[in-house]
Amino acid sequence: MPSELSQELYALYKKYEADLYEFGEKSNEIVHGPFLISPNDKFSTSKVRVVFIGQETNGWSCKKDISNQMETYSKFNLGEKYVSSPFWNVIRKFEKSIIGETHSSSWLNINRYDENSKKPSNENRELLSGLDTLLLSELKILKPDITIFLTGHSYDSRIIPLLSAQKTSIGEFDQKQVCEIITNSIGGRVFRTYHPNYLRRSGLESRVVSEICSQVNV
């Protein structure tokens, strides 16, 4: 039996169904998606609801079936088999510190599709931005206490207008590295930092994770 949360999300996706699949049908590139979520029971019952938002998938199901796409998400179970991935390593660190239990958050992406298992082109990202209101609707259903965008500052041009927000600095970091996003569009606290691959390459990973956790673990 699908959870109440998944049922709400399914109804939302059905409402957007035509728009969700239009991009995949029109694209001349090899695209994977759409990326549709179905959070596990740990998230639904967590004492602190934490949502992470990445850029896009690295390959995904392409079936034109909402239930199948949501099932793909469930079976992936927040990257439980990706033990060496910087993206999932960073999420595990946040989960342990903020929630106290791994595989208990929810994961979204700002781009519904990837292109050839990578970032979509500028043109396709522009087209995909037309679905950003769906991301806001997902967040309103999930009701996170903490939202962390792992998108890098290049997506601020989509995030800030979507949330009718403004950025503020935290700690001693430059806002490009990490910032808090002040918004009334969704509840809880919202942060944005680099994608974990870049956090690791730049040597900022431990400092950024520590700073955000110190902000919320009070």
Give dist(CA 28, CA 137) in Å, integer: 28
Question: Domain of 151: which CATH number?
Answer: 3.40.470
Q: How far apart are CA 14 and CA 212, in angstroms?
A: 35
* Cα(200)–Cα(87) distance, integer angstroms: 9
| Measured distance CA(23)–CA(64) in Å, rounded | 12
The whole-number pLDDT of residue 26 equals 83
Given this model, what pLDDT does residue 133 score?
A: 97
- For the cut 80, the answer to whether the pLDDT of residue 1 exceeds it is no
Q: How many distinct structural domains can be found in the chain?
A: 1
**pTM of the full predicted structure?**
0.96
Tell me: pLDDT of 18 over 70: yes
Rounded to an integer, the average pLDDT of 163-175 is 97
pLDDT tens-digit map of 114-136: 999 999 999 999 999 999 999 99
Q: What is the pLDDT of residue 24?
A: 86
Quick check: 55 and 151 in contact, CB under 8 A?
yes
Sign of the Cα torsion 163, 165, 170, 175 reads positive
pLDDT tens string 86-103: 999 999 999 999 999 999
Q: Which domain holds residue 48?
A: 4-216
Residue-wise pLDDT tens digits, 186-217: 999 999 999 999 999 999 999 999 999 999 98
